[in-house]
């Protein structure tokens, strides 16, 4: 039996430290599914594990892509499953860690397959988006797949502001004449491992304080300078990210620096709330307080192996 120990939870809760502790105990490797830590140009603002942490256990999918690459969750699913297949040849365990719910789901449950869409449809949708903005995509999805639009609004509202994903939803609707949601959950994807889901949580006040401290630490480490280097490429999808987007607005003269910093903290707190909402949907997850002794978590995992 192969086991994928999966660690989820809100940002700044301590997932990295726990993943290293578990990887060392079970003598296995770590696969990251944090969708912003993939990019080598983004270090400080994505809280990439530091050198000591990376040396403490083998990591995969940390700064292995460029912001200039078009890298989708479907691409990640295929690559990560290939890596896991190799890891499981020599080990019964691997650790999956991340706060990107969609990417966690892609590994554990699979990414749904869609028919090929005619290139002319994609061109039309992209052209209309460039002329009319994100509002065009939102209106189209609401018109063509009202149920899915409502689901996103309720469960994952930041997706409505993601042009890449919204264009994909709309082009599937237009290209097939069917709602995007009709292609979801069509089949069961077989996995050659058993997931063990561990969630880390804390009182909201503690989470928010940890987030505020992390943002301050990032700024001290040079986040402003990192964002300034990335600013010429601010339109790239990879950079539509909390921590960078607000500083780009500062560089544009829209925000003062103190206001931009407060916006980073506020938007990160909102993001953490959405993360918890997403992960709490999976009833198979065993939740622990962030300060729980690691031995207690390891003992819980061992009980599931018997």
User: The tokens of 229 are what?
Assistant: 């280097």
Consult the annotation and say whether 188 binds a ligand: no
11 is in an annotated binding site: yes
DSSP 3-state percent helix, strand, coil across the chain (nearest 5): 55, 10, 35
Task: Determine whether the annotation assigns residue 12 to a binding site.
Answer: yes
Hey, is 13 helix, strand or coil? coil
Q: Dihedrals φ, ψ of 22, to 5°?
A: -70, -40
20 is in an annotated binding site: no
Q: Please, what's the b/e burial string for 165-178 (b: 16 or more CB within 10 A of its CB; e: otherwise)?
A: bbbbbbbbbbbbee
User: Is 253 known to sit in a ligand binding site?
Assistant: no
Ligand-binding annotation for 16, yes or no, is yes
Q: Are 189 and 110 in contact (CB under 8 A)?
A: yes
> Is 199 known as a binding-site position?
no
CA dist 207 and 123 (Å) reads 43
Start-to-end Cα distance in the chain = 11
| Sequential DSSP letters for 163-192 | HHHHHHHHHHHHHHSS-GGGGTT-SPPP-S
Coil, strand, or helix at residue 293?
coil
Confirm or deny that 221 is annotated as ligand binding. Answer: no
Between CA 88 and CA 28 the distance in angstroms is 9
Known binding residues for ATP: 9-16
Known binding residues for substrate: 11-16
Known binding residues: 9-16
């Amino acid at each position: 039996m192969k086991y994928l120990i999966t660690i989820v939870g809100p940002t700044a809760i301590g997932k990295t430290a726990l993943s290293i502790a578990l990887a060392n105990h079970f003598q296995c490797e770590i696969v990251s599914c944090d969708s912003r830590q993939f990019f080598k140009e983004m270090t400080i603002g994505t809280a990439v594990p530091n050198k000591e942490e990376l040396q403490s256990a083998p990591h995969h999918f940390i700064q292995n892509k460029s912001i200039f690459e078009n890298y989708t969750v479907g691409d990640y699913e295929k690559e990560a499953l290939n890596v896991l297949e190799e890891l499981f040849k020599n080990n019964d365990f691997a650790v999956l860690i991340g706060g990107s719910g969609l990417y966690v789901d892609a590994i554990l449950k699979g990414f749904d397959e869609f028919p090929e869409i005619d290139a002319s449809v994609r061109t039309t949708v992209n052209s209309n988006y460039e002329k009319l903005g994100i509002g065009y995509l939102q209106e189209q999805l609401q018109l063509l797949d009202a149920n899915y639009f409502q689901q996103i609004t309720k469960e994952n509202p930041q997706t409505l502001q993601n042009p890449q994903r919204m264009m994909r939803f709309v082009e599937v609707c237009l290209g097939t004449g069917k709602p995007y949601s009709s292609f979801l959950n069509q089949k069961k994807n077989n996995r050659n491992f058993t997931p063990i889901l561990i969630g880390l949580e804390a009182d909201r006040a503690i989470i928010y304080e940890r987030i505020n401290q992390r943002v301050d630490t990032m700024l001290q480490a040079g986040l402003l300078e990192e964002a300034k280097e990335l600013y010429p490429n601010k339109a790239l999808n990879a950079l539509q990210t909390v921590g960078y987007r607000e500083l780009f607005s500062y560089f544009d003269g829209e925000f003062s620096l103190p206001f931009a910093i407060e916006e980073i903290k506020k938007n990160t707190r909102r993001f953490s709330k959405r993360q918890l909402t997403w992960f709490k949907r999976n009833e198979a997850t065993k939740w622990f307080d962030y300060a729980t002794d690691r031995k207690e978590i390891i003992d819980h995992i061992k009980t599931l192996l018997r």
